[in-house]
Structure 1
Amino acid sequence: MSEPTVDSSRMRTLVHSDDLDETREIISSAYSPYELRVLDNAQGFSAWYAEGGFPGVTLSALSYGAETLVAPEPLTSYLLVCQVVHGSVRVLSPGREERVVDAGDTYVLDPYRTFRVHWAPGARMTTIRLSRDTVERAAADALGFEEPVRARFTLGGAVSSAAAGTWAGISAAVQREVLDGGIARTSPLLASQLTRTAAAALMEAHPLITPDPEIRHTGAVAHPAVRRAMQLIEEQADQPLTLSDLACAARLSPRALQEAFRQHLNTTPLTHLREIRLERAHRELLAADGDGRVTVTQIAYRWGFSNLGRFAASYQHRFGNPPSQTLRT
């Protein structure tokens, strides 16, 4: 029995066997307890399983050499994004959905229901495992909720070809880090960023089932998030803040933060930042002596206005006179 053509030099092989009971025991320990049955040609059964990863992500590779049924118990604490790399599998959630997944396609197994997966002989798959907590926080960001959200997914593929391409790129980056021995293993910051990016990309790429109606939406809970962004603006308005910086402070996705600002302040985060900077520049111009030691250019640059003409126009629109006149007052 030969291993699948996957560069496993950076992965740990846990199963390379034609023993059904041994395979069931080891993979149950790696994932969760599950039923494993050979449906046809028991003599042809074989299994190969290897895994690797970095903090926050586990990458696995798995192959069965005979027609096989896998029926795991609910995953409970994690989620799997599965990509078929050879052959096909038929995955179903009893009484709900069923889908045949061919090579190159992906599907998601979430922690909240049971699944059955029928493997065609020789099918191979890779999985990216993310913790339930990571995915639930990403779902909250994507949907504009303050608290973590039960992230339940349909068995459908990516929502569009563009989304599929984005997920493929993120998945490839994760696999490179594992298979090529990247620095995510030893860099907690990079591991954390890549894990969050993978979870955020998953939210955009695969169809979520609408959350339970009792979960409060942005309209009910966005004030704390908006306040967090506003606090960062108040404290660091002179710094080169980006929408991503504000969203990170708010613990929302950039899109959700923009929606929250529109709903509660009838503006956008960057417009609010610009208004605060204008106000700070106005205060400095009023406080300056006008003796030439302080210039409009210096104050404009200090508050992030690199285009002096645009600064002057915005300032006059806001305060009714040009900044040079305020400085001379």
Structure 2
Amino acid sequence: MNDQQTTRIQTETQSTDLEVAREFLAEAYAGQRWSADQTRQTFSFRYTAVGDQAMTLRTIRFDGHLDGVMTPSEDFVVQWTNKGRGTITTDSATIEMEHGRPQLWPQQGAAFSYDDYDQRIVQINRTALETVAGERGIDAGNLQLDHTVRPDDRALQVWRSSVQLISHTVMDRHASPLLQAEMGRLGALALLELYPVASAALPDELLLPKNSHIRLAVEYVHEHAHLPITTNDLAQVSNLSLRALQHAFRRLFQLSPNAYIRRVRLDRVRDALLAGDPATTSIGEVAKQWGFAHAGRFSAAYAEQHGEYPRDTLRRA
């Protein structure tokens, strides 16, 4: 990791001047048409940011009303409020903030409105997230996360425990650059568990309203292919019966759910082999990493799907 990524960031400012606070935030977040008004509370403002170029933790306390428009961002921003009221509005939906519940900021930009709020923010650099995603076999090109997904309880637990550890470590002024970098990596991993990657490779038909349930299952497969997945998991995620799930996969992909999972994992194996070093990469180890323990059956399935044997793919790496 280069020196720029490990340079420590630490900023703190506060004010009782409404216009000073508005201008500071509008400049810090490259906002448009930001306006601020006083509410019944006595106005006060406090902002902190700590971290490095890969990830920063930020807090905003704004005792007043603030609204405006956030322009599209390359970074990934997860934010939640601990008090006050907040809404985020895109072209397609309005999201009401729930206290303590993280919400991924829409990368295409959005309008917002907040009142008397206390906000926590985790901002992760795109390059940092793409690096971790690539290591997990996720195609990192033009990586997009689906902000419309409501994270489940397991993902929320992973996120909250990770943020607690990250916050404790990053706030320590004596933490080494290496430890800061590891916290950035942990933040990226937790974010990939919290929100699924919006895959551009999914068929257009999945975008139709009638297929919204099966799309949840497909996105779950692409996001969690590195973990044990069962058809029961997919049925639960998509809120479908096992029979309806099987029928939908057959209709859309001419495959069973288990065969679809295997196809995705074989794609991940191919990506790993193409990114590997022929002199040091073990095909067997890569196959085991993606759940293929029997070398003969793996090699035959790989050849059937990709038109060549794994060793041929690795030679072209």
How does the TM-score come out when normalised to structure 2? Answer: 0.60
Amino acid of the structure 2 residue aligned with 1:85: N
1:102 and 1:43 map into 2 onto residues whose CA distance is 21
State which of 112, 120, 131 in structure 2 corresponds to 1:117: 112
1:114 and 1:28 map into 2 onto residues whose CA distance is 14
Amino acid of the structure 2 residue aligned with 1:169: S
**Cα pair distance change 1:85/1:198, threshold 3 Å:** same
CA contact (8 A) 1:52 1:60 kept: yes
CA contact (8 A) 1:46 1:65 kept: yes
Aligned to 2:97, the other structure's residue is in SS state: strand
Amino acid of the structure 1 residue aligned with 2:84: G
Aligned length: 233
State which of 143, 153, 156 in structure 1 corresponds to 2:146: 153
State which of 41, 46, 51 in structure 2 corresponds to 1:48: 46
Amino acid of the structure 2 residue aligned with 1:37: S
Q: Deviations over 1:256-287 (max 9, x none)?
A: x44799996379xxxxxxxxxxxxxxxxxxxx
Could you say which residue in structure 2 is the equivalent of 1:280?
Answer: none
User: Identical aligned pairs, as a percentage?
Assistant: 14
Q: Deviations over 1:75-127 (max 9, x none)?
A: 2x31211121223311222x22222112211101143x111221122x11111
Q: Residues 21-60 of structure 1: matches in 2 within 5 Å?
A: 22-38=20-36, 41=39, 45-60=43-58
CA contact (8 A) 2:170 2:183 kept: no
Pair 1:64-2:56 in alignment: no
State which of 55, 71, 74 in structure 2 corresponds to 1:73: 71
Aligned to 1:88, the other structure's residue is in SS state: strand
Pair 1:226-2:221 in alignment: no
1:259 and 1:129 map into 2 onto residues whose CA distance is 36
Amino acid of the structure 2 residue aligned with 1:105: R
Pair 1:193-2:192 in alignment: no
1:261 and 1:226 map into 2 onto residues whose CA distance is 18
**Structure 1, gaps ≥5 residues long:** 1-9, 238-242, 248-253, 268-329
Cα root mean square deviation, aligned:
3.9
How does the TM-score come out when normalised to structure 1? Answer: 0.58
CA contact (8 A) 1:139 1:148 kept: no
**Cα pair distance change 1:86/1:43, threshold 3 Å:** closer
Larger radius of gyration: 1
CA contact (8 A) 2:51 2:180 kept: no
How far did 1:29 drift? 3.3
Q: Residues 1-329 of structure 1: matches in 2 within 5 Å?
A: 12-20=11-19, 22-38=20-36, 41=39, 45-75=43-73, 77-93=74-90, 95-111=91-107, 113-121=108-116, 123-142=117-136, 144-145=138-139, 147-158=140-151, 160-183=152-175, 186-188=176-178, 190-211=179-200, 213=202, 222-223=269-270, 225-226=272-273, 228=276, 231-232=279-280, 257-258=290-291, 265=299
